[in-house]
Structure 1
Amino acid sequence: MMVHLMLAPVVLPFLTGSLLLLPFARSNTRRRNLVLVSSVLLLAVSLVLLVTTHQQGASYYALGGWAPPYGILFYLDRLASLMLVLTSLLTLAVLLYACAGEDKTGSYFYPLVMFQVAGIQGAFLTADIFNLFVFFEILLMASYALLMHGGGRERARVGVHYVILNLVGSSLFLLALGLLYATLGSLSLPDLAVRVQQVSEDQQPLVKAAGLLLLAVFALKAALLPLHFWLAATYSAASAPVAALFAIMTKVGLYSIYRVHTQLFGPAAGDLAGLVQPWLWPLAGLTLVAAIVGLLASQQLRRLVAYSILLSVGTLVFAAALQTPEALGAALYYLVHSTLISAALFLLADVILQQRGQDALQAGPAVRQPVWLGGLFFVAALVAIGLPPFSGFMGKLLLLQASVSHGLWIWPWILLGSLALIITFSRAGSSLFWRAEASLQSASETQAPRMHWTQLAAILLLLACSPLMVIFAEPLYEFTFLAAEALFVAPQPLIWSET
């Protein structure tokens, strides 16, 4: 039974999304109850899989009993289980927030969220690079519709750009898959990792071309420069629950870089080892520069949060370029932190927008609940900046320690990013809460809606993870280090047993 439980993170949201399309689920109350129960079950299953994997090791699952390289193979290790828990926790918070009324502003919100979650979870679980493409398409199709949730001219405009860019990325992905299958005769990651070591000299250029095409595809998903222009416009235009859920989207691209390129072109890949490292260094640095410029130029709170995501992407790519288990383990810790705090900030920005009537970082109406929102924003800003005693500080400290062996030249990049966050969040806080126009304060207090308890619960759920990550920093980093270390183990031919 535990073996089949591996499929639950994909099957459960697919089943829930399908049930939500049936006539009995037309009642919004029933929909809310169903998705909340499903999300709690999804989180519970993901935690069970994480604990089981940590205790018993990684495991494979071949659908239909078909042995690789011909069958569809799922693979659950520490890295995949960590991402499953992160996605499930984020989903629960997003659905809680949507229960305050955001789910009524468009049709099929809940089924689309469930289908997107199924695609994300499948991308984390698959051990076949073609099925990685399939799950990418599933999550992207759901994200196209979710981006338009609530309607509006701006969402339609950025939605068209988002669709076109991802269609180009999908085309490049298929081209890379064709090159890999033509040269190596398999698309199963365990098989590919072994066959890359044995590739003939005349086939190496084709494999290199496929690897670089895959990097371009994953860089587009992760929003690496120069493929980052879609991120700020898309995230700032989307509704708050959708933007919060999209916080995991760039991490899917980063996960793919970690998983695919470390396994296929890692230290054990022979002549193809370190294929993408020369590209990752400049991409990481330029992405950080673009993020810092975007942060300093941001005039809206949601756009500020979007550029903070881009900043975390650049930081996490530096860790991938270091190509050590210590750096990748620290990156996984920071990845969890950055995803949760970005989602919390998007939700908090929406509440502030509802009470101010605008999210422009300038003098405007006072919020109706200045103590609650000011306190939440203050804590969220400290977490995002990376000041002690929160998880952002611990994550950056681990990254700085892991980079010592490569010299201290990486430190200024990470510290300059933190400085930019201090400047921009300080400016944002003073504009939102200290420079309220007195003439508009009374109108704001009487007309603005109060924060719904489900909105508060969702934001608190995400923010509470930061101190917990510090309290349990040692076992969590040990887990992420072991997850990263497994990616650097020299691949062995996969021996399949029906038992």
Structure 2
Amino acid sequence: MILARDQLMILPVLLPAMTAAFLVLALRHHLRRQRIVSIAATGLLVVLAAILFAQAADGTIRAYRLGDWPAPFGITLVLDRLSATMLLLTAVLALGVVLYAAGGVDGRGRHFHPLLQFQLMGINGAFLTGDVFNLFVFFEVMLIASYGLMLHGGGPVRLKAGFQYVAINLLASTVFLVAVGLIYAVTGTLSMADLAVKVPQVAAADAALLKTGALLLFLVFATKAALVPLHWWLPATYAGTSAPAAAMFMIMTKVGAYAIVRVYGLVFGADAGPLALAAAPFVLPAALATLVVGTVGLLGSRTLRDLSAFAVIASMGTLLIALGLFDAAGFAAGFYYLVHSTLAGGALFLVAGLVQEGRGAASDRLVPAPQMGAETLIGGLFFLAAIALVGLPPLSGFLGKVMILQAAQASSWWPFIWALILAASLVMTFGFARAGSVLFWASGPTTGERPPPPAAGLAAVVLLLALTVGWTLAAGPAMEALEATARQALDRAAYVGAVLGPDVRLAGGN
């Protein structure tokens, strides 16, 4: 059967789901074959995501109704510029992760590749769904798979961090269900397009209850995005798991940021009547605090993995400063920085894995140790990842921060935003410089033979860093596309028309 053009968007969910099932049922005892199938399926996912990205580039929002049930009664998947961008970014990151894992990390426990594919199914579904309840369902698929990936390989440190991770996400899932129940009780729908129509029309007597549901939902998304004070689970989780799992988790925090953009830009946006910009007063202050906490934690880190985890928190603070502006300029700058931070952060975690393996008993602790194999090469990769994440020129981190600073000029918060972003960049420079000097410049003579790092691991890091450099070189056309993406993300009428039909009329204009 040949899929129609709009039906292709179901494949980013089906492909990893079927791959995961095949790996478990047919290849559970054949790791080498699992690697081949997983790499091939992930490469195919990259191609598929690129095709969908090219489709979305014409500006048309496409809706696919499963079972041909009309919205808002059936399950609807929606492909626009933003969701297509996130699909392609996820697939590229996953390809780097699966290449790194094939170097030997996947053999330290069971079912790494099936778990990774199931996680891809949940992540892709979250980016494509047009329904808040199905967003919850895909969140749960993504999180259940991440529990297994987080614990892959075992060990007491990983088990402790895993318990905290599971506990906080179970609590967040409970809050998610309560929020969904409140929203449905008031509006009678959970379709995002239908909510965009009905939220501005909610009676004044029901507005307080609906706002409660909206703010509870924001708490869930803020937890996923590691916003202060809901960030405390992230350092132990990301630093406690394996390098490829931590690199893959880079996209999970972005799912939280994406959900904030999608729900609070579309459903509770500027034209939502009494519920307009319901979460906006909280995003910017929390994002600024997140940037501060991440920067301070980075400066005090004692291992490279801890440093990488706090760098993620700092980067999420920077990202959500841009998204918290809730305008087209802020969204466009934020989307550029989102792609950059995902690629550079994933590369840093993979470098941390190479350092951990290469330094023997010293692991990735920031203490002097004998030289590791291929230290100069790994040091060079660390240097590139560091200057990208800190935001030093000429890489995309610098360009992204400049764009965010420019976008923030229209906000009354701009003095705080400028001061904290610039100060945080300076402090992060010191933190990374300290780590690099200890790991690579203070090395002693080698006490024995140091094996070279696995070629697959190096290839994965080079891939992600090369894409970071490419993202820098393509900044001009990328920003043109992302500005169109930002305008489309704020266009309620276009989204509602694509899902519910062109005859549906909106209250409050666009």
- TM bracket, shorter-chain basis: over 0.9
User: Corresponding residue for 1:208?
Assistant: 211
Match of 2:199 among 185, 196, 199: 196
AA paired with 1:395? G
Q: Which residue of 1 aligns with 2:491?
A: 489
Deviation per CA, 1:438-495: give whole Å up to 9, x if none. 3xx232xx0x331111111100000001221121111111122111111222435654
* Unaligned residue ranges in structure 1 (runs of 5+): none
Contact 1:67 1:496 (8 Å CA) reproduced: no
2:49 is aligned to 46
How many residues of Structure 1 are paired with residues of Structure 2 in the alignment? 492
| Code of the aligned partner of 1:397 | V
d(CA) in 1 for partners of 2:292 and 2:27?
51
- Aligned residue number for residue 394 of structure 1: 399
Is the 2:373–2:453 contact (alpha carbons within 8 Å) kept by the matching residues of 1?
no
CA contact (8 A) 1:13 1:117 kept: yes
Instruction: Tell me how far 1:56 sits from its aligned partner.
Output: 5.2
Q: Give the equivalent residue in structure 2 for 1:31.
A: 34
* CA deviation vs aligned residue, 1:131-174 (integer Å, no higher than 9, x gap): 00000000100111111100100111111111111111000000
2:386 corresponds to 1:381: yes
Is residue 235–residue 302 contact of structure 1 (8 Å, CA) maintained in 2?
yes
Query: Deviations for 1:388-417, whole angstroms, at most 9, x for unmatched residues?
Result: 221111111111111111254111111122
> Contact 1:294–1:304 (CA<8 Å) still a contact in 2?
yes
Counterpart of 1:364, as a letter, is: A
AA aligned to 1:398 is M
Alignment partner of 1:187: what SS?
coil
Superposed CA deviations along residues 259-292 of structure 1, whole A, max 9, x for unmatched, are 1111112111122112111111221121112111
Structure 1 stretch 411-420 or stretch 138-147: which is displaced more? 411-420
Retained in 2: the 8 A contact 1:351–1:451? yes
Structure 1 residue 437 displacement after superposition: 2.7
On the 8 A contact 2:27/2:34 being kept in 1, the answer is no
Does structure 1 residue 370 correspond to structure 2 residue 379?
no
Tell me the TM-score normalised to structure 1 length.
Answer: 0.97
Stretch moving more, 256-265 or 16-25: 16-25
Query: Residues of 1 paired with 2:292 and 2:435: CA distance?
Result: 20
Alignment deviations for residues 216-265 of structure 1 (CA, whole Å, 9 cap, x no partner):
00011111111111100000000111011011111111110111111112
Deviations 1:403-440 (A, max 9, x none): 111254111111122112201110011000111133xx
Q: Distance in 1 between matches of 2:232 and 2:31?
A: 36
> 2:193·2:500 contact (CA, 8 Å) conserved in 1?
no
Shift of 1:353: 1.2
1:101-140 matched pairs, under 5 angstroms = 101-140=104-143
Task: Give structure 1 regions of 4+ aligned residues with deviation exceeding 6 angstroms.
Answer: none
1:424 corresponds to which residue? Answer: 431
- Could you tell me whether the CA contact under 8 Å between 1:193 and 1:263 is conserved in 2? yes
1:478 aligned onto 2:480: yes
Counterparts of 2:231 and 2:211, CA distance in 1: 24
Report % sequence identity: 45
Asked if 1 retains the 8 angstrom alpha-carbon contact of 2:303 and 2:365, the reply is yes
**2:17 is the alignment partner of 1:10:** no
In the alignment, structure 2 segments of 5+ residues that lack a partner are: 503-510
Contact 1:329 1:484 (C-alpha < 8 Å) held by counterparts: yes
Q: Is the 8 A contact 2:150 2:241 kept in 1?
A: yes
- 2:349 corresponds to which of 346, 349, 359: 346
- CA displacement, residues 323-365 of structure 1 (integer Å, 9 cap, x when unaligned): 1101111101100100111110111111111111211112122
Alpha-carbon deviation of 1:300? 0.5
Which secondary structure does the structure 2 equivalent of 1:442 belong to?
coil
Counterpart AA for 1:459: V
| AA partner of residue 454 (structure 1) | A
Answer yes or no: is 1:167 the counterpart of 2:174: no
1:125 deviates by: 0.2
For 1:250 and 1:56, locate their aligned partners in 2 and report how far apart those are by CA, in whole Å: 26
Paired letter, 2:94: T
- Answering whether residue 411 of structure 2 is matched by residue 406 of structure 1, we say yes
Matched, 1:88 2:91: yes
Q: Distance in 2 between matches of 1:24 and 1:86?
A: 28
Q: Secondary structure at the match of 2:453?
A: coil
CA contact under 8 A between 1:262 and 1:488: conserved in structure 2?
Answer: yes
What is the aligned-residue RMSD (CA, Å)?
A: 1.3
8 A Cα contact 2:49 2:91, kept in partner: yes
Structure 2 residue aligned with 1:464? 466
Q: Is the 8 A contact 1:12 1:38 kept in 2?
A: yes
